[in-house]
Chain A
Amino acid sequence: MGRVLAVIIWIITLLSVLLFVSGKWWFPTPISEHAPALDRQFMITIVVVGLSFTAAQIGLGWMVWKYRDTGKSGDRAIYTHGSNRLEVLWTVITAFVFIALGVMGQSVWASLRLHDAPPGSYSVEVVAQQFQWNFHYAGKDNKFGRTDPKFIDDSALNFVGLDSSDPSGADDAVTTALAIPVNRPVELRLRSKDVIHNFWVPQLRFKQDLVPGMEIKVHFTANKIGKYELACAELCGQLHFKMKSYMLVLPEEEIQALQGLPQEQFQAKMVELLAKYPLPTYQ
């Protein structure tokens, strides 16, 4: 029985490790400046995780393989209540490894979250609502038109509540897909009209909740031109799984061409760009 269990534990361990190292399923190709550092930290961590998992399972299998009750009288287990030296040893070693990992695991976070977007960033206001993304662009004046919930009117397509009396909103545009420049810091100002949503682009290695009642500013830099799927990653109700949009990472000149276009032309141009760029291929 013990040997069967040992072999099964080892087989499970082997197959689990193989599934991870096969590379058949893994992160999608990264497209942001911080992603390689995040992926590296993930690799370091998964190696520690994999080694600990494998060592513990091999050890467990070894114990049940080797030690079994023979039923012979006088054949007893080793009588010991433990070893303080071993306790200290494994406590210190694991504390060192785990806390070191924990400290290393803050660097990407700190680089993204502990300071504001650098000057010259491209700003977009993101306003989520149940099952739809709205992206509000400032236009040529780089100033967002004033918004207020009392002006929101979905039936009149004023999804973000633009105040028509504010002149700085005259050149603003609102679309349901996101267009950002490549290789330039992007600042997103995240808001939600109703419940909590989450901005999630797997290739960006980036997530942030959009919380009603708050404006959350986050920033990142995308460095690969293309079209990427954007998903909601916080349960927001019935059609949560359909709350999908696209993020276009565009050359600077295409962003410049978009900027300041009147609403209809902006939207038409976005449709064109969405058709122009294909999605990445997945194996």
Chain B
Amino acid sequence: MSVEHHEGVHRHPAPTGFIRKYIFSVDHKVIGIQYILLALAAVAVGMVMSLLMRLNLSWPGTSWPILETLFPTGAPGGVMNPEFYLSLVTMHGTIMVFFVLTTAPQGGFGNYFLPIQIGAEDMAFPVLNMMSFWVTLLGFIVILLAIFVEGNQSLGQLFAGLGPSFAGGSGTVGPIGGWTGYAPLSALGKIAGPGQGAGMNLWVISIAIFCVGSLLGALNFITTLLNMRTKGMSLMRMPLTCWAWFTTAVLALLSFPVLLGGGILLLLDRIAGTSFFIPSGLYVSGLLSGSNPNFPLHTGGSPILWQHLFWFFGHPEVYIAILPGMGATSHILATFARKPVFGYRAMVFAIFAIGLLGFFVWGHHMFISGMSPYSAIAFSVLTLSIGVPSAVKTFNWLGTLWGSRIRFTTAMLFALGFVSLFVAGGITGLILGQSSLDLAMHDTYIVTAHFHLVMGVASIFGMFAALYFWFPKMFGRFMNEGLGKIHFWLTFVGVYTIFVPMHIMGIVGMPRRYASFGEYEFLKTLHPLVLLVSVAAIITISAQLIFYFNVFWSIFKGKKASDNPWEATTLEWTTATPPPHDNFAGVLPTVYHGPYEFAVPGAPRDFVMQTDIDTEVPSGNGHNGHKH
């Protein structure tokens, strides 16, 4: 331990036993890797589900014998039934949004690199940090349980003890409600059909648990960043990654409690007979509310209230998923463009503007929900204005590339892919944000296309870039660049082939969450596109096997990496590879420069590290990197 004392640093000795070191670790680096492993497991489940959905949509009625073996009630004769399909939709969305897009970018990379990038020895509250991970993992276990409880008759019966309406075993792979779980479908219980029994209870409980884990994590991120920056690390010298993780944590802190509250109310409606989201006079499956013990009396609830609570969280959640990807992209673009980030200050303001505006636009999910048409107008105009900071970020990324000297590593390719996909996915927000156009567009495939490209694929590209970039620091070995590039080309072309045609389907009017399109004449012409999307999805998903192989192979067999293999500037590259338990081996670094001092005229090398005391850096334009 160092004799130099830095206030606010909570030291803890390096653990020795295996369990304290790798399982119940309080080291933010180990916790970060645990989050990434969780996301890698969750994304595999989510991808297999999307594969099954595509099989059902493009080859309806085809018998897949393996499905019958695995899910005898969900796919009798190997043919998927509609409730099985809808549970796939629900679980794919839930797992991807919560356990992939919220865990890896923030809990994973943020946990690992935020303390190191600001020059801290650990998070402010290491034990709390450990708890956030284990609580999140518990949430994941509960959501997996929802799959088994609905899929297995005897497991489902376990819950029948709570009352007949709680029995699972509807032969699906989880509840039915989409990731948004609109009430009263999600609130009524088994009377509302398959997928509304025990699995739905577990779905709500899992999300509530997840909220708690994210809240604990957010507190930790905010405290750490505000209190534990090392000497010289002023706010405007922080890497843009740190700004992104910080803003994300603020969004999580303010939005997850609302979902937690909503989730608890929904659970009470389901198990305690309350009526927060269930109005009076419902008549479901041949029974009037209050006329039968299986359907108790409900009165006074509001279905739209759930939507407000859900989307007050749900819209900021979109930015929780993508802001860390934006941060990583800015960071990686500058590093491999060998050029300072263009408009650093504007980038910081843009992140904040996106975060702030993100709280005022949730109503654009609800234009046609029955809420006031006047508020729709306010939400609509605010929504369009959120495109402005998003465009500012894009302009600055292009500005960063202008006059640069690009090194085309796999990490850089994915960062460039992020920019391309963020534009492609984000720009259609101009269509969907208009209340008038939503009359035609709402809940069609153009919505699916839009959010998959921008919050799904672009975010994932940010994470791919981050992993290829930081892997050598985390594991002391490079990921294989050759395999990485094959992975990039297949994925980049693949995701465009999947999601661009979905826009067209939406324009024609194809509704989301349909188990089959065979019922409608107006959708029949779309069959070639449906087929194209499925083939592209199968190829793209298969290509991810290359990625998984690369990750696990490289941990053990990858080419060894030095401390600063990318010739980067920020603090994580000043310490050993992989970093020691306290990150800087007892001596916290002192920072003298902004985060992206590349190509400084007169400097001996084309990069000046933040700790470099010997090199003079001119004060940058629109940048206060030298004011200390």
Interface of A toward B, CB cutoff 8 Å: 1-2, 5, 8-9, 12, 15-16, 19-20, 25-28, 38, 41-42, 45-46, 48-49, 52-53, 56-57, 59-60, 63-64, 67-70, 75-84, 86-87, 90-91, 94-95, 98-99, 101-103, 105-110, 112-114, 129-130, 148-150, 152, 154-155, 161, 193-196, 198, 200, 202, 205-209, 211-214, 216, 229, 231-242, 244, 279-280, 282-283
Contact = CB atoms under 8 A, between A and B. Distances in A.
Given A25-B504, A105-B380, 7 more contacts: A1-B485, A19-B500, A77-B606, A83-B342, A106-B380, A240-B86, A244-B519
Contacts of A211: 303-304, 369-370
B427 A53 contact: yes
Interface in B357-410: 367-370, 373-374, 376-377, 380-381, 383-385, 387-388, 391-392, 394-396, 398-399, 401-408
Top 3 nearest A-B pairs (CB, nearest first) are A213-B279, A105-B434, A102-B384
A198 B337 contact: no
Contacts of A234: 182, 443
A41 B370 CA distance: 23
A232 B515 CA distance: 13
A73 B594 CA distance: 23
Contact of A28 (B388, B508, B517): B508
Contacts of A207: 368, 438-440, 442-443
B424 interface: yes
Given A108-B439, A155-B286, A194-B283, A102 B381 contact: yes
Given A56-B423, A235-B182, A63 B440 contact: no
B107 interface: no
Given A193-B283, A241-B516, A91 B392 contact: yes
B407 A81 contact: no
B346 A75 contact: no
Given A67-B401, A68-B405, A194 B337 contact: no
B185 interface: yes
A229 B420 contact: no
A11 B507 CA distance: 23
Interface stretch (B4-12, B132-140, B470-478, B520-528): B520-528
A9 B420 contact: yes
Q: Which of A211, A214, A237, A240 has the most CB of B within 10 A?
A: A237
B83 interface: yes
A94 B387 contact: yes
Contact of B401 (A16, A60, A90): A60
Contacts of A16: 424, 496, 500
B501 A19 contact: yes
Contacts of A46: 431
B420 to A, nearest CB: 6
Nearest to B369: A209
Nearest to A75: B405
A213 B303 contact: yes
Contact of B373 (A75, A105, A113, A237): A113
B430 A101 contact: yes
Contacts of A2: 406, 408
Interface string B211-230: 00000000000000000000
B598 interface: yes
A77 B508 contact: no
A112 to B, nearest CB: 8
A206 B439 contact: yes
B600 A242 contact: no
B76 interface: no
Contact of A83 (B279, B343, B406, B503): B343
Contacts of A150: 281, 288
B312 interface: no
A212 B279 contact: yes
Nearest to B384: A102
Nearest to B489: A8
Interface in B142-201: 176-178, 182, 184-185, 188, 192-196
B525 to A, nearest CB: 5
Interface stretch (B110-118, B243-251, B618-626): B618-626
A231 to B, nearest CB: 6
Interface in B588-628: 594, 598-601, 606, 620-623, 625
Contacts of B407: 68-69
Given A49-B427, A207-B440, A211-B304, A200 B511 contact: yes
A86 B395 CA distance: 9
